[in-house]
């Protein structure tokens, strides 16, 4: 016997978001923040993720305004940059990932750091007013924070900092949200990843579900 299951894509999509809103505790979030958190839960398949979402009060508005003004999106990994849905972007925003740049391996050796961290050095001329999306490497988020300790370093408009992992991820996100150098969003602890980060960016890019 064939399996019986829902085959209407639009109905699956709508029911998924309805289920999240029925089961998740979204009461702490403003109307601007709620669609972002819902998409993150959807990407993770995890009701309860909302309990670990931390964001500055000005994050959603600042990130949306930057995207609507044409800000580039700077990504730490191709999994993040490739996941962003281009038709959702409000101003044909440029999506940039410098990890594969030919200069990065030598730069990483000179810095004594990972390629993910070294790749951020190539962001300096694009960082002013940008939306940063870090979903993979804790070292990238730590290095960004180190860069932004310099008052001369350009400031991004907003930071989605959701690297995943067992070494450094929780600490990097805690450091970001404890003393944010720009409006910021994190998932506390070890949870995170490219899919969750992409979901946040896609929700900020367009209110359409």
Out of 20, 39, 40, 42, pick the active-site residue.
42
- What is the Cα–Cα distance from 155 to 128, expressed in whole angstroms? 5
Instruction: Return the SS3 of 201.
Output: helix
Chain centre to alpha carbon of residue 182: 14
DSSP H or E stretch at residue 76: none
- What is the Cα–Cα distance from 67 to 206, expressed in whole angstroms? 10
- What is the Cα–Cα distance from 174 to 189, expressed in whole angstroms? 8
Length of the chain: 209
For residues 88 and 202, the answer to whether their CB atoms sit within 8 Å is yes
Q: Is 42 a catalytic residue?
A: yes
Instruction: Return the SS3 of 73.
Output: strand
For 92-113, letters b (16+ CB in 10 Å) and e give ebebebbbeeeebeebbeeeeb
- What is the Cα–Cα distance from 120 to 140, expressed in whole angstroms? 7
Write out the catalytic residue numbers.
42
């Amino acid at each position: 016997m064939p399996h019986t299951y829902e085959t209407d894509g639009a109905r699956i999509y709508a029911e998924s978001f309805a289920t999240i809103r029925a089961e998740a505790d979204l009461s702490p979030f403003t109307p601007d923040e709620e669609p972002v958190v819902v998409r993150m839960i959807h990407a993770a398949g995890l009701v309860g993720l909302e309990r670990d979402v931390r964001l500055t009060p000005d994050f959603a508005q600042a990130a949306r305004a930057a995207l609507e003004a044409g800000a580039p999106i700077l990504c730490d990994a191709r999994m993040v940059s490739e996941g962003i849905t281009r038709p959702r972007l409000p101003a044909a925003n440029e999506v940039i990932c410098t990890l594969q740049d030919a200069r990065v391996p030598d730069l990483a050796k000179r810095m004594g750091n990972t390629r993910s961290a070294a790749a951020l050095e190539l962001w300096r001329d694009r960082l002013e007013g940008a939306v940063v999306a870090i979903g993979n490497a804790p070292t990238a988020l730590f290095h960004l924070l180190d860069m932004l300790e310099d008052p001369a370093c350009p400031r991004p408009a907003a930071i989605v900092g959701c690297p995943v992992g067992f070494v450094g991820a929780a600490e990097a996100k805690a450091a970001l949200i404890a003393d944010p150098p720009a409006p910021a969003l994190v998932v506390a602890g070890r949870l995170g990843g490219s899919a969750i980060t992409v979901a946040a960016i896609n929700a900020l890019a367009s209110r359409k579900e």
